[in-house]
Amino acid sequence: MSDRSTRRRRLVILISGGGSNLQSFMDACAEGSLNAEIAAVISNKVSAKGLERAANAGIPNIVLDHTEFPSRGEFDAALGDIIDSFSPDLVILAGFMRILTPPFVNRFLGRLMNIHPSLLPKYPGLHTHQRAIDAGDKKAGATVHFVTAELDGGPAIVQAEVPIFKKDTAEILAARVLEYEHHIYPLAAQWFCEGRLELDDGDVLLDNELLPEGGVCVEIRQKR
């Protein structure tokens, strides 16, 4: 294998909040299930708890406050420059609560991933768990996808499905889904880091095979 295929890939992780998905990447890197290093964590919010997680682990962490920029485009351009200064192979959106402009998305196209707490294409946007409960759905889940200019609309890489039980509140369901986000997101990143995963003209290929619409489905069986 060439050096290029075995070296640890560099990740930049963008957050806005608690950073439990960031933590799952830190843990996966530490235990070796993800052959990567987190080169930097960037938050658009100074209050993001995930910054503490990064600082405690000695990972460079930066706040870029979007309210200090006159436009979305200028914020995205500055964000892109900071990301590029860390030369990442892959950029991970982990609860980054900003809509990104097409120039930003195109700058990192094919190496920009997001996780969304629904079984996309169902429930793009916010309040996904409540919407699934209100609709009477029997299952919910999370989707890791490549980011394209369409909000939560990029092609799926992997989904985890969990059951919805009758007495579930949005909070209970969110916690159940989050547990499996922490499994599938580092997994998708590892496929990318191994060179097995690519975005090819809008399609996702894993080991050169075209993935179905929802990506790889990881079904989690749970007891109540």
Q: Which residues bind ligand GRF (CB under 6 A)?
A: 15, 17-21, 50, 94-95, 115-117, 142, 178, 181
Residue from 116, 129, 145, 182 carrying the catalytic annotation: 116
Task: Pick between residue 130 and residue 205 the one whose CB is nearest to ligand GRF.
Answer: 130
Q: Report in angstroms how near the CB of residue 116 gets to ligand GRF at its nearest.
A: 6
Active site includes 182? Answer: no
DSSP for the chain reads --HHHHSPEEEEEEESS--HHHHHHHHHHHHTSS-EEEEEEEES-TT-THHHHHHHTT--EEE--GGGSSSHHHHHHHHHHHHHHT--SEEEESS---PPPHHHHHHTTTSEEEEESS-TTS--SS-HHHHHHHTT-SEEEEEEEE--SSTT-SPEEEEEEEE--TT--HHHHHHHHHHHHHHHHHHHHHHHHTT-EEEETTEEEETTEEP-TT-EEEE-----
Task: Pick between residue 151 and residue 210 the one whose CB is nearest to ligand GRF.
Answer: 151
Q: Report in angstroms how near the CB of residue 24 gets to ligand GRF at its nearest.
A: 8
Q: Whose CB is nearest to ligand GRF?
A: 95
Q: Report in angstroms how near the CB of residue 79 gets to ligand GRF at its nearest.
A: 17
Task: Pick between residue 126 and residue 210 the one whose CB is nearest to ligand GRF.
Answer: 126
Kindly list the catalytic residues.
116
